[in-house]
Amino acid sequence: MVTISEVKSGNSRENRTAAHTHIKGLGLRSDGTAEKVAAGFVGQENAREACGVVVDLIKAKKMSGRAVLLAGGPGTGKTALALAVSQELGTKVPFRPIVGSEIYSAEVKKTEALMENFRRAIGLRIKETKEVYEGEVTDLTPEEAENPLGGYGKTISHVVVGLKSGKGTKKLRLDPSIYESIQKERVAVGDVIYIEANTGAVKRVGRSDAYATEFDLEAEEYVPIPKGDVHKKKEIVQDVTLHDLDIANAKPQGGQDIMSMMGQLMKPKKTEITDKLRTEINKVVEKYIDQGVAELVPGVLFIDEVHMLDIECFTFLNRALESKISPIVILASNRGVCTIRGTEDIMSAHGIPTDLLGRLLIVPTYPYDLDDIRVIIRIRTKTESLDLDEAAVEKLAHRGVDTSLRYALQLLTPASILAKVAGRTKIQVADVQECESLFIDTKKSAAMVSESGKNFIS
């Protein structure tokens, strides 16, 4: 007998143990006030309420071109707040997270890399009423003809497709180029598809639910047969970003000869998009918005470690924020008063020039106290499916206050491994103490360097 066992997917959200897996949202009540512990968040009530106001402004489209700064020490929840904002906004609003140092490793200029990310954070929802043929494929017959160039092979002259919907059936005679699209989409008899009448674009929606059985081993998506007629007018909504439009219009439209193809191969992988092209695209976008065909969706550009940007980038940010089409920009910095990068002696709070600081809404985050750290450790143990003794929770909480929350959380997984080696299912104080002897914290590391500095290269 052949044994068939079901393989369970390991990609579920519960099994992932990223740094902010436990964050599900801002954890606000209906009146906008923050609960002490909610949606994976602990404490930072004022910062969460401020971010809740920002979310409401973004949804109302009254926040574009503004900027927010999350300012606080390391491990105070700045990135978690930005992530919670993105989850509150949902998948339909573009959210583009980058780190300040990313722009230096790009193949293009720093300002070009920044502008590209600005454009990625601005969405455009295009609503089009298209003439489509939609239904379940009942027949798919390519008809062949003699090759006009001679030889033994035959070419496909056209393809006959039978479509069935809730109100009837139709047979369509389609161009051979559409048959290529059908093959790319892997369409077979029994699939539900729609074909755009104007462009000939083919989209496979799924398998007809008439073919669904409880014994089917395929991970197939079953959809009902479309209602109405086969030939109909349908409103199709497409979500794109302005960067998608930039790229689509910047691609070189070369010929199919060898020299043209070689010329495209020799070009660098990434080309800068000119301001002139972007201005033309903006004009077209504004025309679509005025006609009611499209709707602008200003998203969020999150720049973590913003103090890594230099004076040129900050100057560019000022200009970009004043643009007619601009997303909301959320910045995060853990620096105090420090030198602005790209200058030698200009000091400023958070490493950001004062002219840019003047236009920011600044949201402060504060270090967690003992009670907060204790709750966070319990949430993380549940997220990582670990079992922790109460005394071990207390030990880790005090360690988080003495050193840092991040260090305390990083000890969880190694402690669980040491507990398993010792034959225990529950992490105890002894496991935490053994971890502390194996992995030292920042303060111990600094003390070690200062005491035996001669052993290190200075």
CATH of 127-239, one of 3.40.1790.10, 3.40.50.300, 2.40.50.360, 1.10.3720.10: 2.40.50.360
Distance CA 80, CA 24 (A): 10
Angstrom CA distances, 230 to 57, 135, 192, 364, 402, stand at 42, 6, 11, 58, 69
Distance CA 296, CA 239 (A): 10
What is the crossing angle of helices 45-59 and 78-89, to 10°?
30
Distance CA 117, CA 122 (A): 9
Q: How confident is the prediction for the chain on average, in pLDDT?
A: 81
Query: Alpha-carbon Rg of the chain, whole angstroms?
Result: 29
What SS3 class is residue 179? helix
Look at residue 137 and tell me whether its pLDDT is greater than 70: yes
* pLDDT tens string 71-119: 988 888 888 888 888 888 877 788 888 888 888 876 778 888 888 888 8
Q: Which of 91-95, 210-214, 230-234, 344-348 has the lowest mean pLDDT?
A: 210-214
CB 35 within 8 A of CB 28: yes
Look at residue 138 and tell me whether its pLDDT is greater than 60: yes
* pLDDT tens string 208-219: 887 766 544 445
* pLDDT tens string 157-174: 788 888 888 888 888 888
pLDDT value of position 258: 52
User: Would you place residue 245 in the very low, low, confident or very high pLDDT band (cuts 50, 70, 90)?
Assistant: confident
Over residues 108-136, mean pLDDT? 85
pLDDT value of position 10: 46
CB 113 within 8 A of CB 106: yes
Higher-confidence residue of 206 and 213: namely 206
Residue whose structure tokens are 């070689």: 262
Look at residue 196 and tell me whether its pLDDT is greater than 50: yes
Distance CA 319, CA 380 (A): 42
Helix, strand, coil shares of the chain, percent, nearest 5, are 40, 25, 35
CATH annotation of 21-121+299-364: 3.40.50.300
Residue whose structure tokens are 């103090």: 307
Which residues touch 260 (CB under 8 Å, ≥6 apart)? Answer: 254
Over residues 9-15, mean pLDDT? 44
Distance CA 122, CA 371 (A): 40
Over residues 251-275, mean pLDDT? 56
Angstrom CA distances, 326 to 101, 223, 273, stand at 22, 39, 17
Going through 64-184 in order, the beta strands assigned E by DSSP cover 67-71, 95-99, 122-146, 154-165, 168-174
Distance CA 394, CA 416 (A): 16
Q: Provide the terminal-to-terminal Cα distance of the chain, rounded to the nearest Å.
A: 69
- Cα pseudo-dihedral 232, 233, 239, 240, rounded to 10: 100
Look at residue 15 and tell me whether its pLDDT is greater than 50: no
Sequence ranges of the domains in the chain:
21-121+299-364, 127-239, 370-443
User: Would you place residue 4 in the very low, low, confident or very high pLDDT band (cuts 50, 70, 90)?
Assistant: low
Look at residue 9 and tell me whether its pLDDT is greater than 70: no
CATH annotation of 370-443: 1.10.8.60
Question: For the chain, what is the total number of helices (H) and then of strands (E)?
Answer: 15, 17
- Helix ranges (H only) for 70-228 are 78-89, 110-120, 176-184
Over residues 294-306, mean pLDDT? 86
Higher-confidence residue of 398 and 254: namely 398
Fill in the amino acid letter for 102.
Answer: E
Please check whether the two domains, 127-239 and 370-443, share a CATH topology: no
Over residues 443-455, mean pLDDT? 81
User: Would you place residue 12 in the very low, low, confident or very high pLDDT band (cuts 50, 70, 90)?
Assistant: very low
